[in-house]
Amino acid sequence: MDNIDFKLNNLPRKKLPRRVDWAIKSKLYFLMLQKKLALFSRQENFSPALLRPMMAAIIILLSVIIVPAYAYANDNITRGNWLYPVKRAVENIEMNLPASLPRQVATYEKMAARRLSEAEFLAAQNGLAQPDEIETAINDAVGLKAKAAAKSKEAENQKASDRVADIINESTERQAEKLAKIALHVGINSNEELVDTIAIALDDVKTKKQDFKFVNNFPKADEVLIATTSDSGLEFIEDTTGKQTATSVQSRPVHDPVSSSSNRNEKFRKATSTAKIITRDEAEEAISGVKRSIDSLKDSLSVESFPEQDVRKLIDRLNNKLDRSYQAMELNDFDKLNGLLNSTWALTNNAKHFMKKNETNGDTANPFNQEQDNNREGEKNNSGRSNRK
Amino acid sequence: MEAKDRDYIANYDKYKDKIYTYFWYRVNFNNDIAEDLTAEVFLKAYKNFEDFDPSRSFQAWIYAIAHNHLVNHYRTANREIDLERAAVIAVDETKDLDAKFEIERIMTTIKCLDSYCREVLELRFIDQLSNSEIADLLGKDEGAIRTQISRAMQILKDKLKE
């Protein structure tokens, strides 16, 4: 390896994002104003006659500039906070500004990320936040992502399509990380609907990344797009002469928490999400598939160091969903069955995100003090990252 | 705005990217966490700015606050750095294809060094602090830091040759 010194002196440098810079500066100016007001009130030669016009000016300044800026920049201003309507109003202005297609898509993705940040903040409140507040934030994020995907279809050429694909895929990776963090904060023992919402959102985010790439393999004018996925992991484009071209779908293991679904999962997913189960045979096949997957998950969890009670709770939940699926099948309630299998599948795929592994020895994250490393064993992480705000 | 506040904002503009980079390399290249920590450090520093001695280097002061804040973060967040993921994400930041592989190897190897070697190399090459600034931050003698950096570089070169 040559020129190590040169390479070390040219390591990547980061630039603080403008949004964060603006947020920090807003807070600093707010603190400076607070300090100034405190000083004014203590001055002996302070004339009370000046107070009213000064306060009026400050109130106008606060309400028109600083408060909206502060509200906009804070992830911990969530539904229920009096500033939340101000925050959403500023966001709506941003979303409605005239902009190019990539900019519009980026804005939708940015808003989705902001909803997830709010959800993360709420999830980190150790049960103080209502589950439906977290659910609403996540569902809002999913809705915004859907808008971004819909908007992306307006791309007029391959270049534009590639550009919006890059924007969406980059955002999707970060959003999957955020959802994983939310899952960990919420935990497997939380409200079932909330757990399902997070699991489905995780699955949705991971699947859309693959689907999105496929949709943007622009078929030519004389070709027809066939969105089929076989067990061999191939997808097909058929032209007007009937000639088919195959491209492979990336194959991943079922229970890799950072991957999207495997080919077998993909076939099942088509059955539940795009082509719903409508016959008993399909239902039996789908339920068998889910049961196999749950068994496989049990095996994989048994060799990993997750807390026993969390694993037990997870498996109980999955089995309960399976039982309800059988009942729905018996009653020919295929709508309910589809919903149950979708949530069961999502939870199976993303189970590991909801559980924290048992702590191991030899944590070397602290570079300064080995004693602090040792003392950290046994300490529990009770507060999330965003709690610090 | 008071002169002191103007000075603070000027220093903030000067060091915000450096402090962000400082955290980014030390929190598993997580943008969100690095952003949060950067914000907290500058807000905390402003609240204590009255006690700041202007004859002292602002850089040294803000880095000391950042360092202590990071220690608290490690203690309460109880996080581990994923070696593989750290190297992969660092690679995304480079544009030059040839440099990617080299930097990936260097980053992975640095992360495998003992904590003291790793820290002095990171402060020297990531944060671009001088030997005296590193000594001040770690509470060590400047000569000891110079020696440690040489030793760490030699270990790094030997490991990279393996």
| ipTM score for this prediction | 0.79
As a whole number, mean pLDDT of residues A201-208 equals: 81
| Residue A200: band (very low, low, confident or very high) from pLDDT cuts 50, 70, 90 | very high
As a whole number, mean pLDDT of residues A286-304 equals: 88
At B1-39, the pLDDT tens digits run 678 888 899 999 999 999 999 998 888 788 899 999 999
Q: Which of A376, A388, A389 sits opposite B75 (nearest CB)?
A: A376
Where helices occur in chain A by DSSP H, the ranges are: 4-8, 18-42, 51-61, 67-73, 84-96, 101-123, 131-152, 158-186, 192-215, 263-269, 280-302, 308-330, 334-350, 370-376
The residue among A189, A174, A79, A175 whose CA lies nearest residue A126 is: A189
Which single residue is written with the structure tokens 């196999």? Answer: A292
**Cα(A173)–Cα(A68) distance, rounded to whole angstroms?**
29
| Residue A225: band (very low, low, confident or very high) from pLDDT cuts 50, 70, 90 | very low
Which residue on chain A is closest to B8 by alpha carbon? A28
Which residue on chain A is closest to B1 by alpha carbon? A32
**Cα(A259)–Cα(B57) distance, rounded to whole angstroms?**
47
Decide if B78 and A363 are in contact by the 8 Å CB cutoff.
yes
| Residue A118: band (very low, low, confident or very high) from pLDDT cuts 50, 70, 90 | very high
Closest approach of A88 to chain B, Cα-based (Å): 21
pLDDT (0 to 100) of residue A385: 44
**Cα(A229)–Cα(A238) distance, rounded to whole angstroms?**
14
Residue A240 or A194, more confident = A194
Decide if A367 and B118 are in contact by the 8 Å CB cutoff.
yes
Closest approach of A335 to chain B, Cα-based (Å): 39
pLDDT above 90 covers a percentage of chain A that reads 19
Q: Looking at A127-131, A320-324, A364-368, which range is the least confident one?
A: A364-368
Which residue on chain B is closest to A27 by alpha carbon? B43
**How many CB atoms sit inside 10 A of residue A191's CB?**
15
Decide if B77 and A28 are in contact by the 8 Å CB cutoff.
no
Decide if B9 and A28 are in contact by the 8 Å CB cutoff.
yes
Task: Look up the pTM and report it.
Answer: 0.48
Q: Is the per-residue pLDDT at A357 higher than 50?
A: yes
A128 CB within 8 Å of a chain B CB: no
Sign of CA dihedral A389, B39, A172, A112: positive
Q: Which of A366, A380, A381 sits opposite B71 (nearest CB)?
A: A366
A15 CB within 8 Å of a chain B CB: yes
Decide if A366 and B153 are in contact by the 8 Å CB cutoff.
no
As a whole number, mean pLDDT of residues A306-334 equals: 90
The residue among B130, B109, B107 whose CA lies nearest residue B120 is: B130
A14 CB within 8 Å of a chain B CB: yes
Mutate to test the interface with A, among B32, B71, B72 (most CBs of A within 10 A): B32
List the beta bridge partners of residue A264. none
